[in-house]
Amino acid sequence: MTVTLADVAARAQVSPATVSRVLNGNYPVAAATRERVLKAVTELDYVLNGPASALAAATSDLVGILVNDIADPFFGIMASAIQSEIGGAQGRAGGERLAVVCNTGGSPERELTYLTLLQRQRAAAVVVTGGAVEDGPHAAAIAAKLRKLTDAGTRVVLCGRPPAEDTGAVALAFDNRGGARQLTGHLIGLGHRRLGYIAGPEERTTTRHRLEGHRQALTAAGLEDDPALTVHGRYDRRSGYEATLELLRRAPDLTAVVAANDSVALGACAALRESGLRIPEDVSVAGFDDLPFSVDAVPALTTVRLPLSKAGARAGRIATGREEPPPGGIATVRGELMVRGSTAVPRG
């Protein structure tokens, strides 16, 4: 039925051991023998049985990438960068790794499920992207699972997520706090005093950090942090739209809206426009992340650029052991303020 190593061995007139060694290339095999084996392999169209070799070798070439929402370009870009450093036609032959991305939907349960599944597959490495949920029990469960993975020899790297102590995981964290501080600082510098803030889901670290940065900037400028000016929502366009309407209701006098990310900012723009407000003449709008579409918005979106590709690529390299982890296993990746047309000096 299916071709096995033994079939190839028989055809090449060698032992299965030899075939295995040719395929893995980690043991001297005479050139002539190797040729003969390779010939048999192609003639029989032999494909190695992954599970069997993983079982025998007690390792696998699977690398898992966990993302919160694969449909969101933020994660898509990061996943793409990670995968490009892992999968496919890398230099050294045989180093074929299967990079697989798993969509957790941001739910800790699913995150845990996937981690278990990867553990079950004896994954070689796992990259977890995006902010974490701060709910105690969940966070603990995930930390414990990460710990188990690293103990079992799986390399774990967190990309765009704060470090998890005591798990042996390497972390490449985004400086969300600093970016947000800069962004809000920019608006304050322009003269804005009443800034609406559309935050993400309450329980996420990313949400909290960005909000903290925003508040730090307010405080630094001696501005009051009116709780009515902060609305929580999801990280999507729809949410930005609705939150903006709510903000407008609560504070018709605001002159700027800072959004949790670019998608939310776009929704905010739509809501403002429909409310008859011009951007940036009447209200300035700012986003976060600098996704590709942000520069095409009209007006182009002022935002904080996160080096998603660069960070992802680095995470991928660390995960495959091709780059040393940062000292202490923790590195902070900074964003860059991109000032564009959507923010301006407030009216009157």
Partner DNA sequence: CCACGGATAGAAAGCGCTTGCTGCACGTGG
Partner DNA sequence: CCACGTGCAGCAAGCGCTTTCTATCCGTGG
Which residues of the shown chain bind its own copies in the complex (CB under 8 A)? Answer: 2, 45, 47-52, 54-55, 60, 69-73, 75-77, 79-80, 83-84, 87-89, 96, 98-103, 105, 109-110, 113-114, 116-122, 148, 152, 237, 263, 266-267, 269-270, 273, 292-293, 296-298
Q: Which does 73 bind (CB under 5 to 8 A by kind): DNA, its own copies, none?
A: its own copies
Q: How far is the CB of 58 from DNA (least distance, A)?
A: 6
CA triple 182-185-191, angle to 5 deg: 155
- Residue 232 to residue 223: CA distance in whole angstroms: 20
For position 2 contacting DNA by CB under 7 A, the verdict is yes
For position 56 contacting DNA by CB under 7 A, the verdict is yes
Cβ atoms within 10 A of the Cβ of 82, count?
30
- Residue 84 to residue 140: CA distance in whole angstroms: 31
For DNA, the binding residue among 11, 18, 176, 184 (CB under 7 A) is: 18
For position 42 contacting DNA by CB under 7 A, the verdict is no
CA triple 223-270-215, angle to 5 deg: 20
CB nearer to DNA: pick between 53 and 182: 53
CB nearer to DNA: pick between 12 and 247: 12
Q: Which does 324 bind (CB under 5 to 8 A by kind): its own copies, DNA, none?
A: none
Q: Which does 30 bind (CB under 5 to 8 A by kind): its own copies, DNA, none?
A: DNA
For position 107 contacting DNA by CB under 7 A, the verdict is no
- Residue 112 to residue 145: CA distance in whole angstroms: 8
- Residue 72 to residue 57: CA distance in whole angstroms: 37
For DNA, the binding residue among 45, 58, 93, 227 (CB under 7 A) is: 58
Give buried/exposed letters for 239-275 (b at 16+ CB in 10 A, else e). Answer: bbbbbbbbbbebeeebbbbbbbbbbbbbbbbebbeee
Cβ atoms within 10 A of the Cβ of 22, count?
21
Q: How far is the CB of 30 from DNA (least distance, A)?
A: 3
For position 30 contacting DNA by CB under 7 A, the verdict is yes
CB nearer to its own copies: pick between 130 and 162: 130
For position 52 contacting DNA by CB under 7 A, the verdict is yes
**Pick from 25, 19, 115: nearest CA to 66:** 115
Q: How far is the CB of 239 from its own copies (least distance, A)?
A: 12
- Residue 175 to residue 213: CA distance in whole angstroms: 10
Whether residue 299 is preceded by a cis peptide bond, meaning omega within 30 degrees of 0, is yes
Q: Which does 345 bind (CB under 5 to 8 A by kind): its own copies, DNA, none?
A: none
Q: Give the footprint of DNA on this chain (CB under 7 A).
A: 2, 4-6, 13-18, 20-21, 23-24, 26-30, 32-33, 48-49, 52-53, 55-58
